[in-house]
Structures are given as structure tokens and as C-alpha cells.
Amino acid sequence: MDSEFMAVPITSRENLSVENPPIKCRMEIFIMRIQQSFCHALEAFEPTAKFLVDRWERPEGGGGISCVLQDGLVFEKAGVNISVVHGVLPKEAVAQMRSRGKLLTSDQLSFFATGISSVVHPKNPHVPTIHFNYRYFEVIDPSGSVQAWFGGGTDLTPYYLDEEDCRHFHLQLKQACNPFGADKYNKFKEWCDNYFVISHRGERRGVGGIFFDDLEEPTLENSFKFIQSCANAVIPSYVPIVTKNKDKPYDTPERNWQLLRRGRYVEFNLLYDRGTKFGLFTPGARYESILMSLPLLAKWEYCHSPSPGSRENDLLQVLKNPRNWLLDEECK
């Protein structure tokens, strides 16, 4: 294993180490460092469980590194995946990009994409699930013209509402956004609230965070620095919450509620998530890595509804009506 990363990079060392490497190579190096630091941060909670490291290659071009931990003391399932893929876009993907306003002149587009995606499902119902994804994408038309952009975000899915944890999480994200414009956090927080929606149930997947796509302004280089700031905020936003809550006692009804909420997580990821759909329909898709986001255990009960006034219902009301988690003085 490369001591700097969880595995040998997908792109050759020779190409990654050239003088003045292109932004796609710098992004690959950065996300591999984020992968290693986050895996090590999670493993620090686990006395025996370690990440399985699975480096894979894609016949159509590129590959990835999937790191998965299962049945730990604190984490029931945690995945931290890197992908570095290239090839030809399916027409469905081109149509989706056009629907977002991309000016694409051909249906035959080559692409390069690299990103990191992680989902952590803890055992204790008082520890939230976290998801983050940061990615770089470029398309090349037959004339050789290149369009490139970044996307991603970080969001939190608790099972029981702890307002202090929500404020801490959102404040870390806001501080990561602040150097790049006073409006960044508010804009991307609203985008997150409106994206992670389980439409058929009228509720959000969690208490939000930040989410954005098609980021290339004011410059691609500035957007890369923004991505780095957000990704570097993941550990300080989440690890203190795990430390605070991992040893809290819980009972069978609380565990049952956690499994029901995980069922909602599955519904969103399989029915609505654009990244999951893009991955599943990309030629040569690696389904094990794409479906890494799904929990080890989940549950569905017919017409389940929490009792009015219960802690479970308190969470549900917030999921139906997103809140501003930061106090006025913290938003200045």
C-alpha cells in the first residue's frame, strides 16, 4: 500500500507527478488524501474493525478505490470511495446535463470524472449518518472543446434531534464557505434542503448541510479551492458528534426507529439521487461501489407514523420544515 494513500492511485504516478499537473490530476491527489484521512479518523473509533480496501479497474477506462468497514463497534457500515473514470457518455447522461443548462453541441461526448463519495451508518441511533461527495467532471466534444465543473456537498441525517449537533455541523460548513463569498453557505444550504427531498413522503432525508453542482465561477481554480475547503471540513464537522454520542444508551424502540429512517435513506438514494442514477447507467458501472451508500440493515413498516409529542415526531417535523440552524450572531 502507498503510505500516502489507501491504495495505489488509478492514474499513473508518472502522470500525477508532472510539473504543473492539470486540475483533474490535482483533484485526484486531493481526494485520495481526503479518503485516507477520513478512513483513519473513523478507524480510530474501532478497536478491531478496519477498512477493506478494494482497488478496481474499469474496462471502459479508469477505475476506483472502495474502502468499506462493516460490523464495527461504532459503525455498522462505512464506505469511502474514490472513482477516476473516463470514456463516452451515454445519451441519457448528455440529456440530463442539457436539462441543467449545459450547452452541449453533440450527443457523442467523451468525459472524465473523478470524485470521492462517503456514507457512514453508525450503530447507535444517537449518532447521525453523514454523507459527503466532492467531484470534478469534464466533457470533451468532437472538436476537442472542453467544459469542466465541480459539484458536491456534505449533509447530516440524524435519527434523533440534537440541536447542538445540528448547529455545530452547519457552523463548520459555513466557516468552510465564508472565504469564498458571504452568500455561499446560505445559497448552498437552501440547495441542499431542496435536493435531498423524498418527494413522495414530503420530507427531507435529513437536516441538510450544503449541496451544489456545475460550479466553475469565478474561475475553475477558485472552485477547486472551495471544494478543498469544504472537504477539509468533514472531519471537524462530524467526528466531535460521534465522540459525544457513540456511548449513549439506547433501547429497542430507538433502534427500530433508526432502521425505519434508514429505509427512507434507501428510498431517496434509489429513486431520486442523480449520482446514483448516473453511476448505474454508466457503461461498465461497478454496482458494489455505487450501492455502498445503502445501509447494512433497514426496515419498512406499513403506514408507520410516530406518536404526536414524541422525540421521533420532533425529528419528523424538522424534516418536513427545514430550519436555519445557525444563530443570528453566527450568520454574520
Residues involved in catalysis: 131
Q: Decide: 64 and 84 in contact? Cβ < 8 Å.
A: yes
Residue 297 φ/ψ, nearest 5 degrees: -135, 140
CA distance 215 to 194: 17
Question: Shortest CA distance to 56 belongs to which of 26, 24, 81?
Answer: 81
DSSP structure class, residue 10 = S
CA distance 327 to 332: 9
Give the DSSP letter string of 211-263.
EEEEE--S-HHHHHHHHHHHHHTHHHHHHHHHHHHTT----HHHHHHHHHHHH
DSSP structure class, residue 201 = G
CA distance 151 to 147: 14
CA distance 8 to 14: 12
CA distance 234 to 224: 16
User: Residue 300, CB half-sphere, CA atoms under 13 Å: how many?
Assistant: 6
Q: Decide: 114 and 150 in contact? Cβ < 8 Å.
A: no
